């Protein structure tokens, strides 16, 4: 976190990325984390977590009017998730590209959903859709003490 002499706190862009219960059950945790690591984003938070129903509902509250909302909430709480914070310039849009289209049959090969899923109701992974929602979701899923500030020694080999 950098602070300008007069201005507000400037924080690096962050995305909330979550391996959904199907991804955990199917043993895809390492595979998915590897894709974000090797791309060059920095991991700032990570936990295996059994989601309470009220948190799942809050996370997806914008979809509350959709016919699939109830099943979506049941899916998200059906087993543990891996909750992650990934940080870096452009990470929100880039994570969405790595993840692929919402419907896995439309997702390009090479994306996570394109490579590992066939149905929208079992699409393995979540990524925030804007930097603002990234911060909102990180606030929902992580305590401040669970967010780790660390200097990555590899950074000069990734960024000029």
* Alpha carbons 84 and 80: distance in angstroms, whole number: 13
Q: Which of 123, 134, 137, 138 binds ligand IDP (CB under 6 A)?
A: 123
- Catalytic residue list contains 126: yes
Neighbours of 136 (CB within 10 A): 15
Nearest approach, Cβ of 153 to Mg ion (angstroms)? 34
Q: Residues 6 or more apart from 135 whose CB is under 8 A from it? A: 14
The 62-81 site mask, x for binding ligand IDP (CB under 6 A), equals -x----x---x---------
Please identify, using beta-carbon distances, which residue of 8 and 71 lies nearer to ligand IDP. Answer: 71
Q: How many CA atoms lie within 13 A of 115 on its CB side?
A: 12
Closest separation between CB of residue 76 and ligand IDP, Å? 8
130 touching ligand IDP, by CB under 6 A: no
116 labelled binding-site residue = no
Measured CA to CA, the distance from residue 121 to residue 124 in angstroms comes to: 9
* Residues belonging to the active site: 126
């Amino acid at each position: 976190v950098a602070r300008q002499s007069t201005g507000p706190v400037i924080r690096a862009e962050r995305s909330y990325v979550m391996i959904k219960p199907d991804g955990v059950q199917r043993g895809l945790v390492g595979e998915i984390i590897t894709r974000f690591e090797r791309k060059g984003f920095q991991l700032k938070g990570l936990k295996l977590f059994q989601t309470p129903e009220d948190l799942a509902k809050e996370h997806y509250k914008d979809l509350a009017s959709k016919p699939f909302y109830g099943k979506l909430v049941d899916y998200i709480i059906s087993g543990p998730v891996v909750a992650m914070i990934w940080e870096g310039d452009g990470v929100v849009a880039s994570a969405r590209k790595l993840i692929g289209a919402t419907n896995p049959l439309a997702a390009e090969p090479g994306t996570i959903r394109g490579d590992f899923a066939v149905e929208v109701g079992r699409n393995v992974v979540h990524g925030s859709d804007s930097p603002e929602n990234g911060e909102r979701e990180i606030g929902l899923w992580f305590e401040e003490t669970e967010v780790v500030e660390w200097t990555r020694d590899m950074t000069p080999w990734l960024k000029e």
